[in-house]
Structure 1
Amino acid sequence: MALALLPAIGNFGGGLLAEYLRTTRRTLSLALHAAAGIVTAVVAIELMPEALGGAPPWAVVLAFLLGGAFSVVLERGVDALKDRLGGGETGTGAWMIYAAVSVDLFSDGLMIGVGSAVSFGLAVILAIGQVTADIPEGFATIANFKDKGVPRAKRILLSASFVVPALLGAALGYWLLRGAGEIWQLSALAFVAGLLLVAAIEDMITEAHEAAADSRWSAMSLVGGFALFTLIASYFEAG
């Protein structure tokens, strides 16, 4: 559980940077592109290779599709909640990004929890590898709420609340999946991968485009985010 706090701390640190640094819509767009690159790398570098390495392909693909479908349902739920509350000061995109980052931290905790059931050393590598990668996500999320006019106290509370999905994921991964068969453990990772991929492409990138027009730096931020996570994951796995 202590290891699961590390990704949440990295995310909170990114949120604090957004609080005390001057943010513009261009900065927000670049941070969202970087965060989308990181989330995509989580799917491509960590979750799907791990799932395909031990589970039948049909089970992995089915879980992946179910995760993507659940992301669509989640977005519709956020839309319905917004309409029920009469819109509000924040757009659906901002809350979907909050949901996406929550799911990403949940997946971080899930990976750490499953890793702990296998090897404590593996869990340490996964936890440390996620810290730096979560900083841009925290920055983008809080900068987005800042851009929408959410009060600072509420923004800080939202940033701190990311500790909850990380701990829940770790608890689920360790206590519920520890005694389950490998197919269930790896299918859970594929489910999270499908959910994250849709959130990264359909929500983070869309919100980034709405924040500011694309530029060559937007593409480099996306690629840079992917490269950053790949470098971190590869370095700690090699260590």
Structure 2
Amino acid sequence: MLTDSIWLVVGLALMPALGNISGGLAAEVCRATGRHLNYALHGAAGLVMAVVAVEIMPPVLTTLPAWLIAAAFALGGLAYVGLEKLVDSVQENRGAGAQTSVWMIYIAVSVDLFSDGLLIGAGSAIAPSMALILAAGQVLADVPEGFATIANMKDKAIPRPKRLLLLAFFIIPVLAAALLAYFVLRHQPKSFQLAALTFTAGLLTVATIEEMIAEAHETRADTRISPLAFTGGFVLFILVSAGLEQAVAQG
């Protein structure tokens, strides 16, 4: 039974990594404009915010006391700030240049995938059906993120073999985080598991605002379609989530 659970966690954790990889491969064969990247990142941000608002917070709000929700969410936001400070420190120490930029991009995306893994691992410890829906939401968001990552690397003239190698390595952080969260949380009380989900929700929310939306604005100024792309991402997750919940219930 434990072995089956582990393979389930591994399979679900691979979904965001494969979404990121598929988006990166699409960027290898397609020419992306700044406007396309802006729309894609707004859509991804809408998806992530829907994961937090629709899938994570409802069971948290009906189970945990308000002080614990606030504390766990705040800790998640603080964790992101700490990681961002670490990345900035590494960048300052290494200096400027294309190679440094590549590693900063890699670290930033790895942090995002690590948070995806924490989310899936925590969800798997609570219920496989929740983990499936969380993984589906993350894979949808990771496709445009992977697209934007490789497009940025292409703009910096990073050789294709190196781009593809870094793309393949994105499997490591999400898989490691999912297994870590699952083994740490699977025997913990449900309140502790939900608090861990809230922590991850805080991390993802701050990362979405500070990274995805900021990067979207850097690639191209917003148009009237940009907020529609955000809304579309949010709506898409609601529909996917509802469909998966119905399929799980019927199964």
Q: What's the TM-score, normalizing by structure 1?
A: 0.87
| Structure-2 change in CA distance of 1:229 and 1:98 (3 Å) | farther
- Cα deviation, 1:114-161, whole Å, max 9, x if unaligned, reads 444444455445444543343222222222333343332232222222
| Structure-2 change in CA distance of 1:153 and 1:93 (3 Å) | closer
| Structure-2 change in CA distance of 1:208 and 1:132 (3 Å) | closer
Quick check: 1:134 aligned with 2:142?
A: yes
Partners of 1:96 and 1:117 in 2: CA distance:
30
| Structure-2 change in CA distance of 1:57 and 1:82 (3 Å) | same
- Equivalent in the alignment of 1:216: 224
Partners of 1:90 and 1:207 in 2: CA distance:
19
- Equivalent in the alignment of 2:170: 162
Number of equivalenced pairs: 238
- Equivalent in the alignment of 1:71: 80
Counterpart residue identity of residue 189, structure 1: L
Larger radius of gyration: 2
Counterpart residue identity of residue 78, structure 1: V
8 Å CA contact 2:94–2:100 kept in 1: the answer is: no
8 Å CA contact 2:48–2:204 kept in 1: the answer is: yes
8 Å CA contact 2:47–2:137 kept in 1: the answer is: no
Identity, % of aligned positions: 53
Partners of 1:70 and 1:120 in 2: CA distance:
26
Q: What's the TM-score, normalizing by structure 2?
A: 0.83
Counterpart residue identity of residue 31, structure 2: R
- Equivalent in the alignment of 2:14: 5
- Equivalent in the alignment of 1:87: 96
1:1-239 aligned at under 5 Å gives the runs 1-89=10-98, 95=104, 99=108, 101-128=109-136, 130-239=138-247
Counterpart residue identity of residue 31, structure 1: A
Residue 73 of structure 1 deviates from its aligned partner by 1.9
Long gaps (5+) in structure 2: 1-9
| Structure-2 change in CA distance of 1:135 and 1:128 (3 Å) | same
